[in-house]
């Protein structure tokens, strides 16, 4: 496993649409392991492959709720319900946060590591994370969807040094 370099705000790749994974092979599984390790290193809740420079439809999510990380290959949101205003940040936009409108609940289909189709019904933070990461796969970032006037920059300890 390895920590991958994050692609940051302004990197053109973040605006590109990711391609479907045709075959789940050793390279894809290694990429997923690396993505999980990278997400954990930066204390992220989710990470899309495009954020480490790979245009594949893969996302990983960890709610740090004891259930461990989830890897979703070729995720598709098939149904949404309700709408909530939530605050979001993104590993590709360090220290930036904004309010975004997201569905309250989502139903999504994806492939697991063995290639089985899984359907998940998600709400709250999991629904928000799925929407945020699937946006990445479509070349959209949260600042494109933010409610105007809500963007905040929060200084980190490194900025203060």
pLDDT tens, residue by residue, 56-88: 999 999 999 999 999 999 999 999 999 999 999
Q: What proportion of the chain, given as a percentage, has pLDDT over 70?
A: 97
Using pLDDT thresholds of 50, 70 and 90, give the confidence band for residue 100: very high
Annotated active-site residue 133? The verdict is yes
Q: What proportion of the chain, given as a percentage, has pLDDT over 90?
A: 95
Distance, in Å, from the CA atom of 76 to the CA atom of 104, rounded to the nearest integer, reads: 16
Look at residues 58, 45, 108, 53 and name the one whose alpha carbon lies nearest to residue 79: 108
Using pLDDT thresholds of 50, 70 and 90, give the confidence band for residue 40: very high
The encoded tokens of residue 62 equal: 């960890």
Residue 101 has pLDDT above 90, yes or no: yes
Catalytic residue among 83, 133, 152, 155: 133
Residue 161 has pLDDT above 60, yes or no: no
Which domains can be identified in the chain, with CATH numbers? 12-160 (3.90.45.10)
At 47 the three-state DSSP class reads strand
pTM: 0.95
Using pLDDT thresholds of 50, 70 and 90, give the confidence band for residue 156: confident
Strands 117-123 and 105-111 come out as antiparallel
CB proximity list for 51: less than 8 A, separation 6 or greater: 6, 7, 14, 91, 92, 136
């Amino acid at each position: 496993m390895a920590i991958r370099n994050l692609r940051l705000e302004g990197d053109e790749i973040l605006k590109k649409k990711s391609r479907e994974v045709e075959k789940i092979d050793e390279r894809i599984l290694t990429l997923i392991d690396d993505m999980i390790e990278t997400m954990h290193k930066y204390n992220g809740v989710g990470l899309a492959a495009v954020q480490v420079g790979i245009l594949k439809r893969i996302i990983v999510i960890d709610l740090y709720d004891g259930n461990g990380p989830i890897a979703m290959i070729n995720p598709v949101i098939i149904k949404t319900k309700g709408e909530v205003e939530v605050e979001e940040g993104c590993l590709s936009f360090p220290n930036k946060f904004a309010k975004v409108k997201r569905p309250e609940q989502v139903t999504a289909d994806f492939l697991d590591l063995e290639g089985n189709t899984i359907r998940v019904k998600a709400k709250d933070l999991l629904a928000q994370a799925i929407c945020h990461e699937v946006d990445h796969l479509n070349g959209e970032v949260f600042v494109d969807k933010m409610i105007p006037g809500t963007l905040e920059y929060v200084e980190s300890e490194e900025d203060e040094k």
